[in-house]
Amino acid sequence: MEEKAISVTGLKKGFDGNEILKGIDFDLEKGENLVVLGKSGVGKSVLIKCIVKLIEPDDGDIEVLGTDIRSLHKDDELNEYRRKVGFLFQGGALYDAMTVEENMRFPLERLPNKPDNDEIEKRIEEALENVGLEDTRKKMPAELSGGMNKRIALARTLILQPQIMLYDEPTTGLDPATSKEISHLILEMQDKYKMSSVIITHDMKCAEITANRMKVIKDGVFAFEGSYDDLSSKDDPWLKNFFE
């Protein structure tokens, strides 16, 4: 059987006796964009944080690129793991006190096999080109718009060439036109770097643009699955709310 990018089985997580994720199962195929939809507070960010090991699940299995992530303990194992699995945080914050260029250089400088200066320059150049912001190198994040900050944050995550990308609300807080741009950028990067991605969103336009497949969380489990067209034409009153 072909190795999955991510395979999650029976994932449970609660806080203070309140069960949030009640048995989440899904596979992410290699090269696939999976959109996860769900109302605010349903546990979407918790799910992603379990996958990057920022939160310890109560129960269930998570395999990423064939590795049971419970077997990763040491700092260097975790660092290596997190280089393979890029995570664009909800909010996508850059380091405020660093220029764009310094923000981009930071993850590269910390690599165990630090690339030489020419290679670092090349990668910063390429990463900024990817998001169409080559001329912002010397700028501070505060001098850039929200949409530009998101694009730089995306470029900074991609600079480590992760095999898997996890996007937590990549378009929240952006105007519709900029949201569309970011969504198309996610598609372009999937294609260019042959990445597999989980995209968490409640922006239906973003879902429509990016999804190869969608899954919808309801009451702690995945209640619906299908393509954007499948789900948008389903005759379910609860589901219809998302598409209105």
Question: Does the protein bind ligand ATP through residue 20 (CB under 6 A)?
Answer: yes
CB of 46 to ligand ATP, least distance (A): 4
Question: Does the protein bind ligand ATP through residue 44 (CB under 6 A)?
Answer: yes
User: Binding ligand ATP by CB under 6 A: which of 45, 163, 212, 232?
Assistant: 45
Q: DSSP code of 42? A: S
Q: Give the tokens for residue 226.
A: 């299908």
Residues 76-135 that bind ligand ATP (CB under 6 A): 90
The entry of Mg ion, ligand ATP, none near residue 92 (CB within 5 to 8 angstroms by kind) is none
Residues 1-60 that bind Mg ion (CB under 5 A): 44-45
Q: Which is closer to Mg ion, CB of 90 or CB of 227?
A: 90
The entry of ligand ATP, Mg ion, none near residue 15 (CB within 5 to 8 angstroms by kind) is ligand ATP
Q: Could you give the angle at which helices 100-109 and 146-158 cross, rounded to 10 degrees?
A: 20
Q: Which is closer to Mg ion, CB of 202 or CB of 234?
A: 202
Alpha-carbon distance of 57 to 21, in angstroms, equals 9
Identify each DSSP E strand in the chain by its residue range.
6-15, 18-28, 33-37, 59-64, 67-68, 85-88, 164-168, 196-200, 213-218, 221-226
Question: Does the protein bind ligand ATP through residue 57 (CB under 6 A)?
Answer: no
| Residue 235 near residue 211, CB atoms below 8 Å | no
Ramachandran bin of 79, using left for φ above 0, alpha for ψ from -120 to 50, beta for the remaining angles: alpha
Q: Which residues bind ligand ATP (CB under 6 A)?
A: 15, 20, 38, 40-46, 90
